Amino acid sequence: MSDILILNGRVVDPSSGLDAERDVLLRHGRVAAVEMPGALRVAKAKETIDAKGMIVAPGLVDVHVHLREPGQTYKESIKTGTAAAAAGGFTSVVAMPNTVPVNDTVARLEWMLDAARGACVKLFAMPAATFGSLGEEITDFHQLQRAGAVGFTDDGKPVLVDRVMRAALVAAAGIGVPVSQHAEDTRLTGGCSMNAGPVAFRLGLRGMTVEAESKIVERDVRLLKDIEQHDGLRPHLHVQHVSTAKAMEAIRQAKREGLHVTCEVAPHHFTLTDEAIGEYDTNAKMNPPLRNDADRLAMIAGLMDGTVDCIATDHAPHALFEKEQEFERAPNGITGLETALGLALRVLHKGQGMSISRVIELMSAHPARVVSLDGRGTLRVDSFADVVVFDPAAEWNFEAVKSRSKSRNTPFDGAPMLGRVVATISEGTLVYRG
Amino acid sequence: MKSSEYAAGSLLTVANLSVEDVAAILAATDRLERMAAAERARILAGRRIALLFYESSTRTRTSFELAAKSLGAMTTLVSDKSSSIEKGESLKDTGLTLRALGAECIVLRHANSGAPYLLAKATGLPVLNAGDGMHEHPSQALLDLRTMLARLSGVGGRLVNGKTLDGVTVVITGDILHSRVARSNAMLLPRLGAKVVLCGPKELLPEDALGLGVHGASGCVVIERDFDKALKQAQVVMMLRIQRERLAGLELDLGDYISRYQLDEERLAARSPEALVMHPGPMIRGLEIAGEVADGPNSAIEDQVRHGLAVRTALLVRALGVGGFESVTV
Ligand SMILES: [Zn+2]
């Protein structure tokens, strides 16, 4: 690993409260020095990046991506998915377990994390909370954690049975990792393909109610309290892709009560509403679905007031032929790794006045903390040399055709973005150059 | 609306029709109806129309088929009942196959809402939506409109514009939730000035239905749960079939429904003796509508069928860009 010197940039590192012009030296895959401009001029580096006018930040961390390998590499592979991550400024991604087969054993987890898969940024994984993600019997959390699991989830589905979810929370609490929950009461959403409301009525589509999401969050919070009371443990619930004001309020309340609850919001949920479905555009079909504007604004409020811990993409690639189906039959999900920063800066920074430092915190330091990635999401000396350099003023339009992902299923094709990634460095290696 | 993605002459939703389009379609319907049969049969002579029916529908299919044949077109029926829809083949690929076989227009009935958009986009052919899922049935709304214009006193002579149905209240009663006919009518009629009153119990008529109301229209869409109250205002009462197969899971007592929402002679005579009675069919006599009312003097149910055939000739002519529709845009 050769040295990289990043000169003249505005270093924004929320983990150390730094937002000032600094030069940064990366050496042996670590952050070697962060110094006043000019102080590192004498350092010899194989590569020098002039970051004048740019922001130099810790590499972004995404706790929620679908990389489709094993089993569905026609949609995406670990290699292409992490390439898309690098292009989006991400240096750490957490793969969800709904692969084929489901990632629910040590052997599968190790296979996935093996360097032979060709990940170009740091790959982490959350294996399934239950075998086959069937919601019946919890997997071997202990063994899986020793093999690298950073949390457990049945994402794509909820852990519906109270007893099973309780067991998962207890087991995870014992080893200090979160249970990440896809909050959807699937007993209430059968046959539904979008958000319930006037748009669904007009389009003649069955709609998912907001209660289908909030009820599971409320149930999980009850379980947390019960476990704290009766088991003397402090479980960590992470609520995935929150999309409704009701669930957001339940999380806010749980945090007030001092429970260990964290949550994420996806860029599409703070950017779009169900109107984006237009004339049955399956690129606007995802789960949880796009909601109404009040819910969208509640996501922004949660991001602004600190209820939301991090932004996560829920990057979910699908092949064109799968999305080119009747709306109700098309699979859920959109790609998101390459549009997350551009949307966050446009909607939250430019639109809502959120500081850039705070945007970065929500996309690096905080998500790294949610899954306890030591030495990531920070530019402190000795931490991993995971860095993103981006031009915060660049206004551009995303072009799906240029994506590094194998798939093109995004509602943001042609959409305006703010802030453009010019370099992504993962553990000291330049993995993307814009 | 990204209407440019679809071929001119497509009819996917009434929402994409301007009032001028509606006027043109109705004028063409009149023209075609006045024509001698032999002359009409030359209009689409040799043209190929595919009827792609993933859901059975005797009434709509026959209506489109007879309309096409009366214009001299060749039709082919592809239905999921025959073996001609390859199992598992995508709608897009089926559409491309039909196009390759020379189809110039596809009439589509499909169980999934929005399927006609997909087909129109994939093939670039004009597509006529003959009913998609719970979404729309645009040709039905047009034939219903023509039936009203023909039967309502004082309305018949009016020009077709945003005021044609001023002062007319249309009550649509029944299973609005699952009804594509209700959606198309509730979106179309207010644009011509009508007040549309949707009526039914909460299970079959959620408040979200108010979203069908069109901004800037002189007419409006409202909800009235009490059928008797609604009926008192009605110049037209449109009854919808109760789709028993869709009631599973809904807490709806059929006996209670009949007593509150059935249109029977006594109710009609007491509340709105002059109202025009309509039903898109198929109807279940004795459930949503009493047999005497369906056969009575107020009933326009058979007229609807006749107007359906006529309106569909105009829609096919429009789809193929002839007969005054050469420069049609959607
Ligand atoms: Zn999920």
| Structural domain boundaries in chain B | 3-136+307-319, 139-304
CA B67 to CA B63: how far, in whole Å? 6
- Residue B157: what pLDDT? 81
B250 in reach of chain A (CB within 8 A): no
- CATH entry 3.40.50.1370 includes domain B3-136+307-319: yes
Model confidence at B2, in pLDDT bands (50, 70, 90)? very low
Compare all CA atoms of chain B with the CA of A203 and give the residue at the minimum distance: B135
Closest CA to B169 of B230, B123, B88: B230
- Residue B329: what pLDDT? 46
DSSP-derived secondary structure for A350-418: ITT---HHHHHHHHTHHHHHHTT-TT-S---TTSB--EEEEEEEEEEE--GGG-SSS----TTTT-EEE
- Residue B1: what pLDDT? 39
Q: Is A67 annotated as a binding residue?
A: yes
Model confidence at B330, in pLDDT bands (50, 70, 90)? very low
B261 in reach of chain A (CB within 8 A): no
Is B206 within 8 Å of A325 when comparing Cβ atoms?
A: no
The region, left, alpha or beta by phi > 0 then psi within -120 to 50, assigned to residue A403 is beta
Instruction: Please say whether the beta carbons of A290 and A273 come within 8 A.
Output: yes
User: Encoding tokens for residue B139?
Assistant: 């040709």
| Annotated catalytic residue A314 | yes
- Residue A168: what pLDDT? 98
Q: Which ranges of A88-184 would DSSP assign to H, the alpha helix?
A: 106-113, 141-146, 162-175
Environment class of A42 (CB within 10 Å of its CB; exposed 0-12, middle 13-18, buried 19+): exposed
At A297, which helix (H) or strand (E)?
Answer: helix A293-305
What spacing in Å lies between the alpha carbon of B121 and ligand 1's midpoint?
A: 30
Q: What does the pLDDT average to over B255-276?
A: 96
Q: What is the percent of chain A with per-residue pLDDT over 70, rounded to a whole number? A: 100
Q: What does the pLDDT average to over A196-212?
A: 98
The per-residue pLDDT for range B75-114, each reduced to its tens digit, is 999 987 766 677 789 999 999 999 999 999 999 999 999 9
Catalytic residue among A13, A295, A314, A386: A314
Q: What does the pLDDT average to over A205-224?
A: 98
- Residues within 8 A of A (CB atoms), B 169-198 only: 177, 180, 183, 187
First to last CA, chain B: 11
Instruction: Please say whether the beta carbons of A125 and A112 come within 8 A.
Output: yes
Closest CA to A403 of A425, A432, A423: A432
Same CATH fold assignment for domains B3-136+307-319 and B139-304: yes
Nearest-CB residue to A201 (from B92, B114, B211): B211
Compare all CA atoms of chain B with the CA of A323 and give the residue at the minimum distance: B118
- Residues within 8 A of A (CB atoms), B 196-215 only: 206, 208-212
- Residue A199: what pLDDT? 97
Other CB atoms within 10 A of residue A114 CB: 12
Is A204 within 8 Å of B90 when comparing Cβ atoms?
A: no
Range from A65-74, A390-399, B213-222, B276-285 carrying the lowest mean pLDDT: B213-222
Range from B60-74, B185-199, B244-258 carrying the lowest mean pLDDT: B244-258
Q: Does the pLDDT of residue A166 top 80, yes or no?
A: yes
CA A77 to CA A81: how far, in whole Å? 6
- Residue B240: what pLDDT? 97
Cβ-based neighbours of B40, under 8 Å, separated by 6 or more: B32, B70, B71, B72, B313
Residue, of B328 and A116, whose pLDDT is higher: A116
- CATH entry 3.40.50.10240 includes domain B139-304: no
Closest CA to B14 of B138, B111, B99, B103: B138
Nearest-CB residue to A198 (from B90, B177, B211): B211
Is B180 within 8 Å of A197 when comparing Cβ atoms?
A: no
Nearest-CB residue to B118 (from A203, A206, A280): A280
Residue B127 phi, psi dihedral angles, 5° rounding: -120, 130
- Residue A211: what pLDDT? 98
CA B126 to CA B317: how far, in whole Å? 11
- Residue B4: what pLDDT? 67
- Residue B83: what pLDDT? 63
pTM of whole model > 0.90? yes
Model confidence at B56, in pLDDT bands (50, 70, 90)? confident
3-class secondary-structure state, position B47: coil
